[in-house]
Amino acid sequence: MKLFSSFKRRSKVEIALYCFVSIIFAAVAFSYLYLLIWALLAGLRMHTEIVMDPFGLPTVLNWKNYIDVFKLLKVGNKNFWDMFFNSVYFSIVPTLIRQFLIMTFAYCCTRYKFPGSTLPYTIIMIMLTLPLYGRGGAQYILFSRLNLIDSYFYPFAAIGDAFSMVFLYYRAYYINMTGAYMEAAKIDGAGDFQCYFRIIIPMTKPLFGAMFLTGWLGEWNSYEGALIYLPSLPTLPVGIYQFNTEMIYQARLDILFAACVIVAIPAIILFTAFNKLITTSVSVGGLKG
């Protein structure tokens, strides 16, 4: 009955519309789920079975494939755990750096009045509406000069991302934040650093959490940067990409799809758990009225 709770106090036209929309949504959602189920089942089959009949069901459930992933998913001399470590490191470190820098920067520019405090907002608006193209080559050369390629210092390039859309999310949050706590703390003798670390950061937790999770997910799933800038330190997406490319010599589709399922698990768990936080904490553009 809970499923139809939205029908309370609705007209017949509305109920019909909602049912129609639900059917469309169900079809699309099923198609997405099908991809995961197919990969899950493919990971339970033998390689030859997948090649001969990609849409068949497994005759024997080879759960062993899901264990073998940890041994057989290799790229060069890097095994699964090396790639897992790289994925965790190259997704968490830049996201933490980026989010902390932007949060602090946005807070400072929103709540303090000093010469140039409104400039970042203007610059970001210009950057967003007047995009520049073709910087990939120059960026590669710079990263190469700074020895960031194939380096565990690569995530520190995230300090260049403070002038971005994320700044606007934090800015909107701080504009609407009440200043009462800050004033009370200042009357009690708290300094700027104390106020920021003891009051503002805890108050920004919901937005920081949402931004960190979406940022982390983007980095965790990303292959574009890692494929170019971290050729000897492959992350899991790059590992899977290269494993697929190298399969010309030793085909193991069963391992490939088992790996696809395993690497999706952390993101699925986190996203399902924090779905509400992520989809309701972020806003940009404002409301009228």
Partner 1 sequence: MLQKTKDTVKKKKMPLETKAFIIFSCALPVIGWLVFYMYVNLDSFLMAFTDKSGVFTLENFVRFWEELSKPNTVLRVAFKNTFLTFGINLLCFIPRVLVSYFLYKRVPGSKVFRVLFMIPAMVFSVALNMIVLRLLGVYGFVAQGVQEMMNLDYVPELLADDRFANITVLLHMVWLGFPGDLIIWGGTFARIPEEVLESGKLDGVTWWTEFTQIIVPMVWPTVALQLVLTFCNVFGASGSVFLLTKGEFGTMTLSAWMYLQVYNMTVGHSNVFNYMSAVGVCLTVVAVSISLIIRKYTDKAFSDVEF
284 binds partner 1 (CB under 8 A): yes
Query: What is the contact mask toward partner 1 in residues 39 to 68, using x (rule: CB under 8 A)?
Result: x--x-------x--xxx-------------
Listed in sequence order, the DSSP H helices in the chain are 12-42, 47-52, 64-72, 80-111, 119-129, 136-145, 165-176, 180-187, 192-195, 201-221, 224-229, 236-246, 253-273, 275-281
Kindly give, in sequence order, each residue whose CB lies less than 8 Å from that of residue 235, ignoring residues fewer than 6 positions away. 83, 86, 87, 90, 91, 223, 226
Q: What tokens were used for 257?
A: 């799809």
Q: How far is the CB of 260 from partner 1 (least distance, A)?
A: 4
Choose one: 6-14, 59-67, 73-81, 198-206; the region binding partner 1 (CB under 8 A).
6-14
Q: How far is the CB of 67 from partner 1 (least distance, A)?
A: 19
Toward partner 1, which CB reaches closer, 63 or 197? 197
Chosen residue from 59, 131, 248, 249 binding partner 1 by CB under 8 A: 131
Toward partner 1, which CB reaches closer, 134 or 188? 134
Footprint of partner 1 on 170-229 (CB under 8 A) = 171-172, 191-193, 196, 210, 214, 217, 220-221, 223-224, 227-228
258 binds partner 1 (CB under 8 A): no
237 binds partner 1 (CB under 8 A): yes
Q: What tokens were used for 277?
A: 């936080």
Q: What tokens were used for 13?
A: 């036209």
Toward partner 1, which CB reaches closer, 19 or 61? 19
Toward partner 1, which CB reaches closer, 60 or 136? 136
Tell me how far the alpha carbon of residue 109 is from its chain's centroid.
Answer: 26
Chosen residue from 96, 201, 251, 282 binding partner 1 by CB under 8 A: 282
The CB density around residue 60, as the number of other CB atoms within 10 Å, is 9
Query: Rounded to whole angstroms, what are the CA distances from 235 to 80, 144, 252, 288?
Result: 9, 19, 19, 43
